[in-house]
Amino acid sequence: MTAPSDRPLPRWKTHLFLVVFTTVTLFPVLWVLKMALRPEQTFATGLNPLPTTISFQNFTDLMSEPLFLTQLMNSVVVAAATTAVGVFLACTAAYAFSRFRFPGRRAGLLAFLVTQMFPGTLMMIPLYVVLDQLGLLDHLGGLVLVYSTTAIPFCVWMLKGYFDTIPRALEESALMDGAGQFTIFWRIILPLARPAVAVTALFSFMTAWNEYILAATFMSDETAYTLPVRLQQLVGAYTTEWGHFAAGAVLVSTPVMLLFFALQKHLVGGLTAGGVKG
């Protein structure tokens, strides 16, 4: 007895749906590409999302801005440093949360979760004060500190979930062989967790690379701007240099997209592997 609803969708219908859905989804992205490749500053018109001209005028305009390369370097440095600091701290903390039972463990894990709920608006003024006192306003180091602490909680949860799935037997046999705790962490756990670490690195990188409002608040000197701050300026209240903005958007999004595609199989591994169990 087969109900009509039981028959699976015919293949061609599935494909039709997916093709239409994907096209609609990609429309805005193609649009940006089209605007970036036109030597004009207006919002593109017409319904065709494919580029009709190929001109790199917008890119060269942007690159030849006196401060653009400085600002690009700022973004690169901040994102790289955030990734290094954030991932390293998150790995060690997640390892402890996954492998040891110690007083304060539950509280610590919960504390990391709770920080996700701190509204950014509450932190902004105090962070400004703290960075001011440290002499880190207008300094990239200040952004690195703020971004890595922003990235840590999520990374810890992701990594803990992944570490939890690595069987303990491996470590136990290493212990038998006389390996120290640190050797186990460094030589066994981290290499096994490589995909999760890579994804954590990607998220830390994105936190820093894409952040706009804190950078805009803490950096007042144009030479200390990161790219998002500069790009946002191009979209003015009255006029928008859409061509330049689109070219910048393409430049900023490309590295993240490449990383995404490289890591796409592992994107949420830690999150689904462990779940939010204490």
Partner 1 sequence: MGPLAGAALLGFLLWILVLRSFTGRRFAPALGATGAALPLLGVLGWSTRALADAFPVAGPAALAGDLALLFAAALAPLVAGAVAGAWSGGRRSPHRVAYAYVVPAMAGMGALVLVPFGLGVLLAFTRHHAGTFTWVGLDNFIDILSGGGQPLWAPLSFYFTLVVTLVWTGLNVALHVAIGLGLALLLRAPDLRFKGLYRVLLIVPWAVPNYITALIWKGMFNKQYGLINEVLGHLGVEPVGWFSSFWTAFAANLTTNTWLGFPFMMVVALGALQSIPADLEEAAEVDGASRWARFRHITLPLLKPALFPAVILGSIWTFNMFNIIYLVSGGQPEGATDILITEAYRWAFEQDRHGYAAAYSVLIFFILLAWSLLTQRATRAAEEAHG
Name which of residues 161 to 220 contact partner 1 (CB under 8 A): 180-182, 185, 206, 209-210, 212-213
Stretch that binds partner 1, among 61-69, 84-92, 166-174, 190-198 (CB under 8 A): 84-92
Kindly state whether residue 12 participates in binding partner 1, applying the rule CB under 8 A: no
Kindly state whether residue 236 participates in binding partner 1, applying the rule CB under 8 A: no
Which residue among 58, 79, 242, 244 contacts partner 1 (CB under 8 A)?
Answer: 242
**b/e per residue, 183-196, with b = 16+ CB within 10 A?**
ebbeebbbebbeeb
Kindly state whether residue 104 participates in binding partner 1, applying the rule CB under 8 A: yes
Which residue among 56, 65, 132, 173 contacts partner 1 (CB under 8 A)?
Answer: 132
Residues 6 or more apart in contact with residue 29 via CB below 8 angstroms: none
Residues 6 or more apart in contact with residue 246 via CB below 8 angstroms: 32, 33, 34, 35, 36, 58
> HSE of 91 in the Cβ direction (CA atoms, 13 Å)?
24
Residue ranges in the chain assigned as alpha helix (H): 11-36, 57-63, 68-99, 105-115, 120-134, 140-164, 169-176, 181-183, 190-192, 194-210, 213-218, 227-234, 242-263, 269-274
Q: How far is the CB of 9 from partner 1 (least distance, A)?
A: 8
| Whole-angstrom distance, CA of residue 246 vs CA of residue 164 | 42
Nearest to 205 by CA among 273, 269, 259: 259
Which residue among 5, 12, 191, 238 contacts partner 1 (CB under 8 A)?
Answer: 5
Stretch that binds partner 1, among 50-58, 60-68, 166-174, 261-269 (CB under 8 A): 261-269
Kindly state whether residue 72 participates in binding partner 1, applying the rule CB under 8 A: no
Q: Which long-range contacts (CB under 8 A, 24 or more apart) does 8-14 make?
A: none
Which residue among 79, 82, 97, 244 contacts partner 1 (CB under 8 A)?
Answer: 97
Q: How far is the CB of 268 from partner 1 (least distance, A)?
A: 5
Kindly state whether residue 52 participates in binding partner 1, applying the rule CB under 8 A: no
Kindly state whether residue 267 participates in binding partner 1, applying the rule CB under 8 A: yes
Q: 3-state DSSP call for residue 240?
A: strand
**CB distance 226 to 75 below 8 Å:** yes
Kindly state whether residue 137 participates in binding partner 1, applying the rule CB under 8 A: no
Kindly state whether residue 84 participates in binding partner 1, applying the rule CB under 8 A: no
Which residue among 37, 72, 78, 90 contacts partner 1 (CB under 8 A)?
Answer: 90
Q: How far is the CB of 74 from partner 1 (least distance, A)?
A: 15
- The count of chain residues that interact with partner 1, using the rule CB under 8 A, is 104
